[in-house]
Amino acid sequence: MNPALTQIQQQSRAADLRERADRHNRPTRRLRRASKEIEATQQTLTAYAPQPLFLTRGFFGREHGSHA
């Protein structure tokens, strides 16, 4: 066996495996980034959303512990 040939074969195999791993990992990175963007937009929406009327004080007058 030619040691130079086996070394070339090993290098090409390693390059193929690396390329396959990159191809395999690329979509998950994109999906992860999209989910982070979705999470950020959901947080901003909940921050700017109006509070529900039942949880705020004074909607029904003297409710929610304000009556003495």
Distance from C-alpha of 21 to C-alpha of 28, rounded to nearest angstrom: 12
The number of helices, as runs of H, and strands, as runs of E, in the chain is 1, 0
pLDDT at 54: 55
Distance from C-alpha of 60 to C-alpha of 52, rounded to nearest angstrom: 13
Distance from C-alpha of 4 to C-alpha of 11, rounded to nearest angstrom: 11
Distance from C-alpha of 45 to C-alpha of 23, rounded to nearest angstrom: 34
- pLDDT digits 0-9 by tens, 21-41: 887 777 655 666 677 887 888
Q: Are 57 and 64 in contact (CB under 8 A)?
A: yes
**What percentage of the chain has pLDDT greater than the value 90?**
6
pLDDT at 4: 80
What pTM was estimated for this model as a whole? 0.34
